């Protein structure tokens, strides 16, 4: 794939041709440039990330990896539009992100992200109709399609409180995917699941990706999960979060081989040594 470097693009930006419209495949979908994020606690101003740069291209499975306190979740919230950077900019398709919107659907870690007063189907349908992503028959069709895809057709009319944690996360993923956002933002979605379910959910995510090749930005603190889920991995150092490296992950067929162990060791060294 021809990935034009940002410096080259900025030279064409002066020309009358709109750089976004002109070079769709080459320009990044999401561009995070020099983003510093701060938030206030009761008596401190905390710098969560410091001048973070990275680019996400279409169909990337981009993983933000780092130990707790590296600001990866805060970074994802900023991309979601919930937090404004004090420095730098976040651009989606060339437009600066200023507020939350359905073009960046979040999947949270918490199981209470589904609306408890709506059934599985209503949860997905409501998201589509309220945000205006789809209406009427199209919305209903899309809802059923994605609920089917995550294997919850039998539970379409169940209320969230009757579902297991893994099933709730599946509904949240179905909801996110049904919105067909530009990028799906997943904030440690499997962290609260048991190990067996987590593994199954990771495989399922890859299978879903094989189907529709959606772009996903995935936050995790597990090196193994990052390698399994991601195509590209951004390593962040803690306090404040700074980019330490941006690595390519291994293809799925190399999972479980020496290549995985090698990459794991390499990431481990980068994150936790010195």
Partner 1 sequence: MTMQSTMQSILVDRPEIVRDVSRSTVIADVEKPLSAWERLYRVPLLRKGLILLVLAVIWEVYGRWLDNPLLFPPFSAMLQAFTTDLGNGIIPARTLVSLQTLVIGYAMGILLAALLTTVAIGSQIGTDLLETMTSMLNPLPAIALLPLALIWFGLGSGSVIFVLVHSVLWAIALNTHAGFRSVSNTLRMVGRNYGLNGLGLVRHILIPAAFPSILTGLKVGWAFAWRTLIAAELVFGVSSGSGGLGWYIFENRNQLETANVFAGLFTVILIGLIVENGVFATIERRTIRRWGMQH
Footprint on this chain of partner 1 (rule: CB under 8 A): 80, 82, 99-102, 104-106, 108, 110, 112-113, 115-117, 126-127, 130-132, 159-162
Nearer to partner 1, 113 or 237 (CB): 113
CA distances 43 to 49, 84, 186, 199, Å, are 19, 20, 30, 40
Helix axes 120-131 and 136-149, enclosed angle (nearest 10): 130
Write down the least CB distance from residue 76 to partner 1, Å.
11
List all residues 6 or more positions away from 67 whose beta carbon is below 8 Å from its beta carbon: 221, 238, 271, 272
Write down the least CB distance from residue 272 to partner 1, Å.
30
Nearer to partner 1, 19 or 80 (CB): 80
Write down the least CB distance from residue 152 to partner 1, Å.
17
Rounded to 5 degrees, φ, ψ at 104 are -130, 90
Nearer to partner 1, 101 or 252 (CB): 101
* Strand partners for 31: 55, 91
Q: What is the dihedral of CA 53, 55, 61, 67, to 10 degrees?
A: 0
Nearer to partner 1, 39 or 126 (CB): 126
């Amino acid at each position: 794939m021809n990935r034009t470097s940002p410096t080259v693009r900025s030279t064409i930006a002066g020309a009358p041709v709109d750089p976004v419209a002109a070079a769709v495949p080459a320009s990044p979908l999401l561009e995070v440039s020099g983003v510093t994020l701060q938030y206030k606690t009761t008596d401190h101003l905390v710098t969560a990330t410091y001048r973070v740069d990275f680019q996400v291209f279409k169909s990337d499975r981009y993983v933000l990896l780092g130990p707790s306190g590296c600001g990866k979740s805060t970074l994802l919230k900023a991309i979601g539009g919930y937090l404004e950077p004090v420095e730098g900019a976040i651009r989606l398709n060339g437009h600066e992100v200023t507020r939350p919107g359905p073009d960046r659907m979040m999947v949270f870690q918490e199981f209470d992200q589904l609306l408890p007063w709506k059934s599985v189907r209503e949860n997905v349908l409501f998201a589509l109709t309220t945000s205006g992503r789809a209406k009427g028959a199209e919305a209903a069709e899309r809802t059923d399609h994605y609920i089917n895809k995550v294997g919850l057709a039998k539970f379409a009319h169940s209320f969230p409180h009757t579902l297991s944690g893994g099933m709730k996360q599946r509904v949240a993923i179905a909801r996110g995917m049904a919105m067909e956002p530009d990028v799906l933002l997943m904030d440690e979605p499997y962290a609260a699941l048991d190990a067996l379910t987590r593994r199954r959910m990771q495989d399922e995510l890859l299978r879903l990706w094989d189907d529709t090749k959606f772009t996903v930005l995935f936050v995790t603190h597990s090196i193994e999960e990052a390698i399994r889920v991601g195509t590209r991995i951004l390593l962040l150092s803690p306090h404040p979060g700074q980019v330490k490296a941006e690595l390519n992950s291994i293809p799925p067929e190399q999972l479980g081989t020496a290549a995985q162990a090698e990459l794991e060791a390499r990431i481990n060294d980068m994150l936790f040594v010195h």
